[in-house]
Amino acid sequence: MKRISAIFLFALFFAGAFSLSADPAPVTGVWRTFNDAGTKEESTVEIYEKDGKIFGKILSLIDPNDKDGKPARCTECDGAEKDKPILGMVIIKGLGADGDKWTGGRILDPNDGTWYKCSLKATDGGKKLEVRGYIGFSLIGRSQFWQKK
């Protein structure tokens, strides 16, 4: 019985040590965003932590105006974001730590007004950010790579 207890305590110790080392890298800061092909910069997004969750808002747009020269608005959005200015809009909401990444929240594509499930993972020593938006399972979606500003 003592041997089983010792093995159990040993396993708990290593499980706890493993989970501590799996904390995700920080993703907070200002990031330059790019189109899906990664060839054209589109905006800068500030990612910040609030009450233990990760959020992100648009700080600047490369093309801040619509075709009529007015500030770009989220005309395709529903709900609270409907027709709101894209500049300053919170597009990442409620991600929490999950292993080596941040998940469980959502991200808005202001071009089509669609909310997607989201995961964020810092790579390349914190210089790049893998941003994954998906519907259903994370296998069905798309990723972009943002650069730290």
pLDDT at residue 86 greater than cutoff 60:
yes
Determine the pLDDT at residue 22: 60
Confidence of residue 13 (pLDDT cuts 50, 70, 90): very low
CATH code 2.40.128.520 for 29-148 = yes
Determine the pLDDT at residue 11: 37
Confidence of residue 19 (pLDDT cuts 50, 70, 90): very low
Question: Whole-number mean pLDDT of the chain?
Answer: 87
Determine the pLDDT at residue 42: 96
Report the distance separating Cα 92 and Cα 46, nearest Å: 10
Domain locations in the chain as residue ranges? 29-148
Determine the pLDDT at residue 7: 38
Determine the pLDDT at residue 18: 40
Determine the pLDDT at residue 65: 96
Report percent pLDDT > 70 for the chain: 85
Backbone angle region of 126, left / alpha / beta, with phi > 0 → left and psi within -120 to 50 → alpha: left
Report the distance separating Cα 135 and Cα 121, nearest Å: 18
pLDDT at residue 62 greater than cutoff 80:
yes
The answer to whether 51 and 66 are in contact (CB under 8 A) is no
∠ CA(71), CA(73), CA(79), 5° rounding?
155
Instruction: Enumerate long-range contacts of 105-112, CB under 8 Å, 24 or more apart.
Output: 105/53, 105/54, 107/56, 107/131, 107/133, 108/74, 108/77, 108/81, 109/133, 110/58, 110/72, 110/74, 110/76, 110/77, 110/81, 110/86, 111/76, 112/76
The answer to whether 73 and 85 are in contact (CB under 8 A) is yes
- Counted residue by residue, the chain has a size of 149
DSSP 3-state of 19: helix
| Per-residue model confidence as pLDDT tens digits over 65-82 | 999 999 999 999 999 999
